[in-house]
Amino acid sequence: MLADLAVIEGEYLQDLLDQPRAIEDTLEGLDISPVLLDLAQRLQDGTFKRVVLTGMGSSFHALHPLNLQLIDEGFTSIMVETSELVHYKTRFFDPNTLLIAVSQSGESAEMMRLAEVNHNRSAVIAVTNTPDSTLARRASAAIFTSAGLEASVSCKTYVSALVVLKLLGDILCQKDPKRSRRELKNAAPAVAAGLAHWKESVRAVAALLIDIRHLFLVGRGASLAAVGTGALIVKESDHFHAEGMSSAAFRHGPLEMLSKETFVVVFSGDDKTRDLNIRLLADIQRGGGKAELVGENSGLGCFRLKEHGSSIRPILEILPVQMITLALAALAGREPGKFELATKVTTTE
């Protein structure tokens, strides 16, 4: 058992605990411009033949739920990392493409390149935490998160982006934005409840991670947002190797790595594939690996999600991974989220 958690009580933890405030402020400050509504109407009218969703890191992974929503509504939606888009998929830059670009800073090397390569060929909707950024200034329309300054690894900017992208998806698909706002009002209290007993959660998770060398996060559908972002923040905040992938991909090779040193976090997800994910959990445990479920039926209290609907689920799914980052740091006796080689904003391609 961890006796002293003082080592992890730094700026990263403060950012984590500030997430409910960031969600509230983002929801309260959202402004839907006439230009954004016009772009949504042009999408409905068929002016745009495709929607290209782009970002880097957690900004990219946050796009998974929106991607699925647009596809379910019959639109051609494509997720592309900005680094690939600006060099290898430049044919997407034309008037038939609606670009949705997500970047916390709006000043990363890839977003600067995007503004240069696109050069107003495609309409761009920017989602950013920085209203005066290059991305926001060069976009056709912008919608902003209100996470405030973030000192460390992406957390409150990530959950705030999920809020914005949910509302943006409903606008593009001509859903009632007032209904969306009512649903999303439950997000901040739900996150606050999930963080309320963070010390107990960290101790419980740390007990599971002792002697673990290989960490996998797996899921399907909208849960891929937490899977991808989760693996990224574990590496960033803890210098601990983690992989995020689909549950199906885990069966195609990594299943062979099961051992007492392997821990797999399985996201139960929605009704479409929940049974498949639960079956994977059982197979991992039978194969000698350690695994826990993130979902309504999790046996671990801090991994158990309360039912708040599909709008909020992607936001809540990242909380157990954040507890993992704190637990790994506590076990290693180091402050989590302290950059040593990288920087908060990546300015080099």
- 297-345 per-position pLDDT tens digit: 999 999 999 888 888 999 999 999 999 999 999 999 999 877 666 665 6
Count Cβ atoms within 10 A of the Cβ of residue 346 and give its class: 0-12 exposed, 13-18 middle, 19 or more buried.
middle
- Residue 219's φ and ψ, nearest 5 degrees, are -175, -175
Question: In whole angstroms, what is the distance from residue 236 CA to residue 243 CA?
Answer: 12
Closest CA to 50 of 33, 67, 32: 67
Three-state secondary structure call for residue 293: strand
**CA distance to 128, 260, 277, 339, per residue, from 185 (Å):** 20, 41, 29, 33
pLDDT number for residue 152: 84
- Directed axis angle between helix 198-209 and helix 313-332, to 10°? 70
| 46-60, 73-87, 255-269, 335-349, range with the lowest pLDDT | 335-349
Structural domains of the chain in order of their starting residue, each with its CATH number: 16-188 (3.40.50.10490), 197-332 (3.40.50.10490)
Q: Which is nearest to 164 in space by CA: 133, 142, 194?
A: 142
Q: For the segment 157-189, what is each residue's pLDDT rounded down to a tens digit?
A: 999 999 999 999 999 999 987 888 888 999 999
pLDDT confidence of residue 278: 97
Q: What is the mean pLDDT of residues 107-125?
A: 94
Direct distance between the N- and C-terminal alpha carbons of the chain, in angstroms, rounded to an integer: 42
Give start and end residues of each alpha helix (H) in the chain: 11-17, 19-29, 34-45, 58-61, 64-72, 82-88, 109-118, 134-138, 156-172, 177-184, 187-195, 198-209, 224-238, 247-251, 274-286, 313-332
Q: What is the rounded average pLDDT of the residues 132-151?
A: 94
Assess contact for 194 and 212: CB atoms under 8 A: no
Spatial CA neighbour of 43 closest among 141, 135, 179, 113: 141
Q: How far apart are CA 294 and CA 274, in angstroms?
A: 11
Coil, helix or strand for 51?
strand
Given a cut of 90, whether residue 135 has pLDDT beyond it is yes
User: pLDDT band at 1, cuts 50/70/90?
Assistant: low
Give the model's pLDDT for residue 345. Answer: 66
On average, the pLDDT of the chain sits at 94
Cβ-based neighbours of 319, under 8 Å, separated by 6 or more: 191, 194, 195, 302
| Local structure of residue 304 (DSSP, 8 states) | B
The Cα 151–Cα 14 span in angstroms is: 9
Residue 261: predicted pLDDT: 95
pLDDT in tens, 182-191: 889 999 999 9
CA 236 to chain centre: 14
Given a cut of 80, whether residue 346 has pLDDT beyond it is: no
Across-strand partners of 217? 244, 265
Amino acid identity, position 181: R
Looking at residue 340, its pLDDT comes to 67
Question: Which of the four pLDDT bands, split at 50, 70 and 90, describes residue 3?
Answer: low
Q: pLDDT digit string (tens) for 229-269?
A: 999 999 999 999 999 999 999 999 999 999 999 999 999 99
The tokens for 330 are 């506590």
pLDDT at 31: 87
